[in-house]
Amino acid sequence: MRALMLVTTIAAAALLSVGCGGGEPAALPQGSEPVELDPAGFTIEIDNPYWPMAPGTTWVYSETDGEGNEQRVEVTVTSETKEIMGIEARVIHDLVTENGKPVEDTLDWYAQDADGNIWYLGEDTKEYENGRVVSTAGSWEAGVDGAQPGVIVPAAPEVGMTYRQEYYAGEAEDAAAVLSLDEWTQVPYGSFRDVLMTKDYTPLDPDVLEYKLYARGIGPVLVLGVSGGGGREELLELTKR
């Protein structure tokens, strides 16, 4: 696949100005820098073309790790909301199972600003072993204990653009860089062109690197583990209600 042949060295960050409801537009967040967001400039009606999140939409993925173990990932946009930093956020349910048993159960919180950037405002995650919760590591909420929101998908991605996806010191520090806007990919659900591809990474584990591909009107369709264990997650089904 051409995606795997791309050089992953990205030039200096190109910052995109986004409106967050009044006042001067803000740049995409970087590192641990604090941001001030105006709740009036946000909506739970998430229609970013690279990841539209209408309530009732469900994505089903097959995830295979570097050792060949397979898991089922089901992501559902709920009708529920949660207020974070004064912003009404959409609740997304992410359930990972293996052989029908839960491995990880997460509630993610997203909202979209006036320019179309999808902001990530936190998550409540639980890891399971033998049907029992063994860890909640990685859980965070923007505005609590120094945690800061990030952007999960920019409104108008450009090659070379970088941005923080989340920040909770020592727990959640994911970031991304835009590699391409014209990829082609094929997964069990279908074949897609003009796909957005990002490089996802974290300073908490520098050996881990993923390519994530988003198809217009669909959302994430493929995740490729490039280093730090490898693996592949591909879209099997998409249901819209």
Q: How many domains does the chain have?
A: 1
Q: Examine residue 36 and state whether it is found in any structural domain, yes or no.
A: no
pTM for the full model? 0.88
Rg of the chain, C-alpha, whole Å: 17
pLDDT of residue 26: 52
Q: Examine residue 50 and state whether it is found in any structural domain, yes or no.
A: yes
Mean pLDDT of 136-146: 96
Q: Examine residue 37 and state whether it is found in any structural domain, yes or no.
A: no
Q: Examine residue 35 and state whether it is found in any structural domain, yes or no.
A: no
Q: Examine residue 100 and state whether it is found in any structural domain, yes or no.
A: yes
DSSP H or E segment with residue 182: strand 175-187
Give the pLDDT confidence of 2-37 residue by residue, as tens digits.
Answer: 333 333 322 223 333 334 444 444 589 999 999 999
Q: Examine residue 34 and state whether it is found in any structural domain, yes or no.
A: no
177: which residues sit within 8 A by CB, 6+ positions away?
10, 13, 160, 161, 162, 198, 199, 201
pLDDT of residue 4: 35
Mean pLDDT of 43-55: 98
Query: C-alpha dihedral over 4, 60, 70, 126, to 10 degrees?
Result: 110
pLDDT of residue 8: 30
CA distance 239 to 147: 33
More confident residue, 25 or 224: 224
pLDDT of residue 230: 77
Q: Examine residue 11 and state whether it is found in any structural domain, yes or no.
A: yes
CA distance 172 to 162: 17
Average pLDDT over the chain reads: 90
Q: Examine residue 80 and state whether it is found in any structural domain, yes or no.
A: yes
Residue 59 has pLDDT above 50, yes or no: yes
State the CATH number of the domain containing residue 94: 2.40.360
160 close to 14: Cβ distance less than 8 angstroms: yes
User: Which structural domain range is residue 160 located in?
Assistant: 2-29+42-239
